[in-house]
């Protein structure tokens, strides 16, 4: 897929271990920086520190996304409130001179604060938000947890991830999601 046409995509990324996540997030975030996007990270603090360490010269272009805000907007289960919230993020980015926003959600990090059903509902709402606002959102799933423990990432979440994301980040490229790994 053309690197310049990655806005308006709700993609999935399956990672196996934090090193695999960090290397791929570095690439995904760096591509957003090159497109002049403001990047919001909703990831574990250690992952944020790792990404920030290597992209520190772009520190004004990478921000932490407040997980409480996402949960609050989700709990209303109203697309309009979530749209308003993301529209304000996009407007902040525009006022700072950025072309758009790129968001990374580390799913197991989100699941430490909300229920699986809340996340699945939220993820479905994200599809509509991404489509309407032409922003980019990545949901990163811990495949190690899925294969070996199923503590947070289970069959229901994986099945939804196959259905709900139109693209997959694989081998440092955005590819059309065909519903299988």
d(CA 13, CA 1): 15
Please state the pTM of the whole predicted model.
0.90
Residues in contact with 65: Cβ distance below 8 Å, sequence separation at least 6, in sequence order: 40, 41, 42, 103, 105
Residue 181 covered by a domain:
no
Domain count, the chain: 1
Residue 28 covered by a domain:
yes
Residue 46 covered by a domain:
yes
Using an 8 Å Cβ cutoff, are 152 and 143 in contact? no
- Per-residue pLDDT of the chain (181 residues), as tens digits, is 444 455 789 999 999 999 999 999 999 999 999 999 999 999 999 999 888 888 877 778 999 887 656 666 556 557 778 888 889 999 999 999 999 999 999 999 989 888 898 888 888 888 888 988 989 999 999 999 999 999 999 999 999 998 889 899 999 999 998 766 5
Residue 121 covered by a domain:
yes
Q: Report the CATH number at residue 167.
A: 3.40.50.300
Which among 144, 181, 163, 119 has a CA at the least distance from the CA of 20? 144
Which among 172, 181, 176 has a CA at the least distance from the CA of 23? 172
Domain range for 92: 3-176
Residue 79 covered by a domain:
yes
């Amino acid at each position: 897929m053309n690197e310049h046409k990655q806005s308006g995509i709700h993609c999935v990324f399956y990672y196996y271990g934090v090193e695999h996540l960090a290397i791929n997030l570095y690439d995904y975030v760096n591509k957003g920086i090159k497109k002049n996007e403001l990047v919001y990270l909703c990831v574990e603090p250690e992952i944020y520190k790792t990404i920030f360490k290597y992209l520190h010269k772009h520190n004004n272009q990478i921000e932490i996304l407040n997980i409480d805000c996402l949960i609050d907007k989700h709990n209303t289960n109203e697309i309009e409130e979530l749209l308003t919230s993301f529209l304000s993020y996009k407007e902040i980015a525009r006022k700072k001179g950025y072309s758009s926003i790129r968001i990374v959600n580390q799913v197991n990090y989100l699941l430490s604060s909300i229920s699986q059903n809340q996340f699945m509902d939220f993820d479905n709402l994200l599809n509509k938000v991404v489509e309407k606002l032409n922003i980019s959102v990545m949901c990163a799933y811990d495949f190690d947890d899925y294969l070996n423990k199923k503590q947070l990432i289970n069959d229901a979440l994986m099945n939804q991830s196959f259905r709900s994301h139109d693209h997959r980040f694989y081998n440092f490229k955005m590819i059309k999601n065909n519903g299988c790994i």
